[in-house]
């Protein structure tokens, strides 16, 4: 078996609780042959959000990034007054109850990285915006490490609101390419790969001359309403990273 560092990257966009479609999409990609990166938002919408989290956590050679829906779920777990809001964005009450009974899974979620930068210069994050910059408290630190440190700190301190505000805006890079360019320069990256904003293509959608690639092809049959459900097919959300 090849060392994990030498495996080609496989990217998985928003799952939103559709474990059956996730299994089908991953069938051509054995875990031992790919370095899998889940871009977050495994929960909410479909009935198997916690199941998707556990599967992603336990899949060999995998990294899971924090999505804004994981933030919202942890927020509802800590503050019961947030449950109504969270259910309004697709949260499933049985998932929250299951998460409550699993403290190790809670702790794992609170330590998920928000950003990942590959050696070849690709930056991976859940949301297609640069609001992560609000988490850069130590300007002298490596920005990827600093954003991840601050995300863990905010979740530990019960400040999910700051993370939610940073990660929830949609389509910033597509609308404002100059902000994309500035973000890539600041993070010392050549392109960004993200989920979060569903697209209509049949494969991951590259834009702005390939400087951004969206892997949210509407995989879940349960999230986003009739207009978005499962619209892009599995290959729009689960696919190798282009060289």
What is the per-residue pLDDT across 178-222, written as a single tens digit (0 to 9) for each?
A: 999 999 999 999 999 999 999 999 999 999 999 999 999 999 999
Average pLDDT over residues 24-46: 98
- Whether 15 maps to a domain, the answer reads yes
Q: What is the pLDDT of residues 102-155, one digit of tens each?
A: 999 999 999 999 999 999 999 999 999 999 999 999 989 999 999 999 999 999
Cα–Cα dist 183/133, whole Å: 9
Domain total in the chain = 1
DSSP reduced 3-state for 203: coil
Contact (CB, 8 A) for 107 and 149: no
Would you state the structure tokens that stand for residue 50, as one six-digit string?
Answer: 């916690």
- Whether 96 maps to a domain, the answer reads yes
Cα–Cα dist 235/217, whole Å: 8
Q: 106 is in which domain, residue-wise? A: 10-240
- Whether 97 maps to a domain, the answer reads yes
Cα–Cα dist 235/34, whole Å: 16
CATH number of domain containing 35: 3.60.21.10
User: Cβ of 121: how many Cβ atoms within 10 Å?
Assistant: 12
Average pLDDT over residues 212-240: 83
Residue 5, pLDDT score: 75
Name the DSSP class of 119: T
Is residue 231 very low, low, confident or very high in pLDDT (cuts 50, 70, 90)? low
- Whether 159 maps to a domain, the answer reads yes
If you search the block for the tokens 């198997």, which residue do you land on? 48
- Whether 226 maps to a domain, the answer reads yes
Please indicate whether residue 81 or residue 233 has the higher confidence score (pLDDT). Answer: 81
Is residue 227 very low, low, confident or very high in pLDDT (cuts 50, 70, 90)? very low
- Whether 1 maps to a domain, the answer reads no
- Whether 147 maps to a domain, the answer reads yes
User: Cβ of 144: how many Cβ atoms within 10 Å?
Assistant: 20
- Whether 5 maps to a domain, the answer reads no
């Amino acid at each position: 078996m090849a060392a994990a560092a030498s495996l080609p990257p496989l990217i998985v966009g928003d799952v939103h609780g559709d474990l059956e479609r996730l299994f089908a999409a991953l069938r051509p990609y054995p875990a031992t042959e790919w370095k899998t990166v889940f871009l977050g938002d495994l929960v909410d919408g479909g009935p198997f959000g916690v199941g998707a989290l556990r599967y992603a956590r336990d899949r060999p050679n995998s990294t899971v990034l924090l999505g804004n829906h994981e933030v919202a779920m942890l927020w509802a777990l800590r503050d019961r007054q947030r449950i109504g809001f969270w259910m309004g964005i697709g949260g499933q009450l049985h998932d929250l109850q299951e998460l409550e009974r699993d403290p190790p899974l809670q702790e794992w979620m609170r330590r998920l990285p928000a950003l990942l930068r590959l050696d070849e210069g690709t930056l991976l994050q859940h949301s297609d915006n640069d609001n992560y910059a609000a988490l850069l408290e130590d300007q002298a630190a490596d920005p990827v490490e600093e954003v991840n440190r601050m995300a863990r700190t905010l979740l530990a301190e019960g400040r999910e609101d700051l993370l939610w505000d940073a990660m929830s805006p949609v389509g910033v890079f597509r609308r404002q390419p100059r902000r994309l360019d500035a973000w890539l320069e600041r993070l010392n990256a050549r392109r960004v790969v993200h989920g979060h904003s569903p697209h209509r293509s049949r494969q991951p959608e590259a834009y702005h001359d390939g400087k951004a690639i969206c892997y949210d092809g509407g995989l879940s049959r349960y999230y986003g309403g009739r207009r978005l459900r499962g619209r892009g097919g599995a290959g729009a959300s689960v696919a190798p990273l282009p060289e």
